[in-house]
């Protein structure tokens, strides 16, 4: 009667365990690291898209658009028929402020936190008149020491002044 395993059987068992653990390590890395990270990135992207929707709505009804170049392209001012809206990039946040032309109207600032989000805007001109805003967004994430740009998008929104200038 045999009271142990042969050396060949033990080697086979160890090789099988190594192969199983190598396969499962990828699964556990995905489960423990990739899924929460990607979930956070999707949530931050939805916050960024919410800010882009507000900018889109404001640009569509704009009479004029001004970008403050002295602040490093961090301030976008949109002149609407009844108010003025400003968007400011500050410390991983986008701050939307409304300045009403009518006294007595209250306005609240809207703040979007985007710790890994990057947003940039460029104003398009025709005959020294602003007619569109290009918005470039992405999420910058470090993975294993490498900075990666994820969910990069470009948007182009036209003002209502373009319709008036069309011939």
Q: What confidence score (pLDDT) does residue 141 get?
A: 87
Q: State the pLDDT confidence band at 157, using cuts at 50, 70 and 90.
A: very high
CB 62 within 8 A of CB 80: yes
Closest by CA position to 52, among listed 141, 146, 148, 118: 118
Q: State the pLDDT confidence band at 136, using cuts at 50, 70 and 90.
A: very high
Closest by CA position to 58, among listed 154, 150, 160: 160
How far apart are the C-alpha atoms of 87 and 106, rounded to whole Å? 18
Least confident range from 16-30, 91-105, 136-150: namely 91-105
pTM above threshold 0.85: no
74: tokens are: 């961090």
């Amino acid at each position: 009667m045999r009271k142990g395993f042969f050396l060949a059987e033990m080697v086979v068992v160890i090789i099988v365990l190594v192969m199983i653990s190598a396969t499962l390590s990828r699964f556990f890395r995905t489960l423990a690291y990739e899924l929460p990270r990607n979930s956070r990135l999707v949530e931050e992207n939805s916050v960024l898209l919410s800010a882009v929707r507000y900018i889109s709505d404001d640009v569509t009804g704009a009479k004029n658009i001004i970008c403050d170049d002295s602040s490093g392209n961090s301030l976008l001012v949109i002149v609407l028929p009844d108010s003025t809206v400003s968007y400011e990039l500050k410390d991983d946040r986008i701050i939307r402020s409304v300045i009403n032309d009518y006294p007595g109207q209250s306005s609240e600032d809207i703040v979007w936190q985007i710790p890994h989000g990057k947003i940039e805007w460029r104003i398009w001109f025709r005959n020294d008149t602003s007619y569109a805003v290009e918005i470039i967004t992405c999420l910058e994430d470090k993975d294993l020491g490498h900075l990666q740009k994820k969910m990069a998008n470009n948007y182009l929104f036209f003002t209502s002044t373009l319709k008036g200038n069309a011939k």
